[in-house]
């Protein structure tokens, strides 16, 4: 059974549990530590840290940045302060652009004859950053689609009728802004880059030169073979291995907190190694 989970989402982005509920759930299933890594926001960190204090669970404050790349690249920043000024300024600029994107998506859906307004989506999202999962939930509530997958297949995914590309940081910007906040920088789920081993090695070398600290070796969607390759590359390139489920709650019911698809067994030793590295560099944990 896992002792930690270093990749999770709450209602601050596209998860279905509040940060407090997420920390409570982690404690109830026996985890010792949890990282909250919501998409492109630090809004849930204060609540998660408070929950950790209240409930006696170690909480690592973080976020997950979407990065422009031919495949799908996400970068985790761990040990972020909730007020992270440089990061929050950069992310606010992104959110402004994405809000415009959301409005265009809604306009496309309306032109397809679907009764939906941006105000409805904002109401459902509450304080969270509005994203496609919120739009899909409104469409499900209206009976337009029966599942998130159907919604993305028909309307919101890259081949959908209402798709609009998302504004993202490039890798250099993402890593730079996280480093400005003294965060630990981790490449999430490397399988999504869709690179063979040699190409991934070259990309990791490039990203390490930019400031990458580690790789999410253990992940819900990784095969045993992929996990072994990523662990080997970490040893070869002196990168820190991490692991997480990418838990979202009921919108991804097949992914369990700490357990993924039943394939995760994340030891606290992973987190201990990350903390030791930060302390060696004079950084807080």
CATH at residue 116: 1.10.150
pLDDT band at 95 (very low <50, low <70, confident <90, very high): confident
Domain boundary among 156, 179, 205: 156
Specify the pairing of strand 214-219 against strand 240-244: parallel
In a domain, 191, yes or no: yes
In a domain, 285, yes or no: no
Whether pLDDT at 78 is above 90: yes
Tokens for 162, please give them.
């209402």
In a domain, 162, yes or no: no
Helix (H) or strand (E) holding 91: helix 85-111
Whether pLDDT at 135 is above 90: yes
CA dist 130 → 43, 102, 191, 279 (Å): 13, 8, 27, 36
pLDDT band at 98 (very low <50, low <70, confident <90, very high): confident
Q: How far apart, in whole angstroms, are the C-alpha atoms of residue 239 and residue 147? A: 38
> Is 246 found in the same domain as 190?
yes
* Phi/psi at 276 (5° precision): -65, -40
> Is 221 found in the same domain as 108?
no
pLDDT at 127: 79
pLDDT over 70, % of the chain: 100
pLDDT at 151: 96
- Indicate the average pLDDT of the chain: 95
CATH number reported for the structural domain that contains residue 276 in this entry? 3.20.20.140
Query: Residues 193, 203: contact at Cβ < 8 Å?
Result: yes
Whether pLDDT at 126 is above 90: no
User: How many domains does the chain divide into?
Assistant: 2
Coil/strand/helix, residue 158: coil
> Is 181 found in the same domain as 102?
no
> Is 52 found in the same domain as 136?
no
Specify the pairing of strand 4-8 against strand 58-67: unpaired
> Is 109 found in the same domain as 58?
no
In a domain, 166, yes or no: no
> Is 222 found in the same domain as 117?
no
Domain boundary among 125, 156, 187: 156
> Is 267 found in the same domain as 204?
yes
pLDDT at 22: 98
> Is 206 found in the same domain as 240?
yes
In a domain, 163, yes or no: no
Instruction: Give the pLDDT confidence of 208-222 residue by residue, as tens digits.
Output: 999 999 999 999 999
pLDDT at 243: 98
| Nearest by Cα to 218 from 206, 209, 230 | 230
In a domain, 78, yes or no: yes
> Is 190 found in the same domain as 78?
yes
> Is 253 found in the same domain as 231?
yes
Whether pLDDT at 234 is above 90: yes
In a domain, 61, yes or no: yes
pLDDT band at 21 (very low <50, low <70, confident <90, very high): very high
The residue segments making up the domain with residue 61 are: 4-83+171-280
In a domain, 164, yes or no: no
Instruction: Give the pLDDT confidence of 174-196 residue by residue, as tens digits.
Output: 999 999 999 999 999 999 999 99
> Is 135 found in the same domain as 36?
no
> Is 190 found in the same domain as 77?
yes
Whether pLDDT at 129 is above 80: no
Domain boundary among 124, 156, 188: 156
Q: What is the sign, positive or negative, of the torsion defined by CA atoms of 172, 72, 259, 128?
A: positive
Section 59-64 average pLDDT? 98
């Amino acid at each position: 059974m896992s002792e930690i989970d270093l990749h999770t989402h709450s209602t601050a982005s596209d998860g279905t549990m509040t940060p407090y509920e997420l920390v409570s759930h982690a404690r109830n299933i026996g985890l010792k530590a949890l990282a909250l890594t919501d998409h492109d926001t630090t809004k849930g960190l204060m609540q998660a840290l408070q929950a950790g204090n209240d409930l006696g669970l170690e909480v690592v404050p973080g976020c997950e940045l979407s990065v422009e790349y031919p495949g799908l690249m996400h970068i985790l920043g761990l040990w972020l302060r909730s007020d992270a000024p440089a990061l929050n300024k950069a992310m606010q600029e992104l959110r402004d652009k994405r809000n415009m994107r959301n409005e265009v998506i809604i306009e496309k859906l309306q032109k397809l004859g679907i009764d939906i307004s941006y105000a409805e989506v904002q109401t459902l999202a509450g304080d969270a950053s509005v994203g496609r999962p919120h739009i899909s939930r409104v469409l499900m509530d209206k009976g337009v689609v029966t599942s998130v997958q159907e919604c993305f297949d028909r309307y919101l995914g890259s081949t959908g009728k209402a798709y609009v590309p998302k504004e993202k940081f490039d890798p250099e910007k993402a890593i730079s802004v996280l480093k400005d906040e003294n965060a630990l920088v981790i490449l999430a789920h490397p399988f999504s880059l869709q690179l063979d081993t040699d190409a991934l090695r070259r990309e990791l070398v490039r990203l390490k030169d930019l400031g990458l600290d580690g790789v999410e070796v253990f992940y819900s969607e990784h095969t045993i073979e992929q996990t072994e390759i990523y662990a080997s590359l970490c040893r070869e390139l002196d990168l820190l291995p991490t692991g997480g489920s990418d838990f979202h709650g009921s919108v991804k019911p097949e992914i369990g907190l700490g357990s993924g698809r039943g394939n995760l067994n994340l030891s606290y030793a992973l987190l201990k190694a990350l903390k030791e590295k930060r302390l060696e560099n004079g950084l807080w944990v």
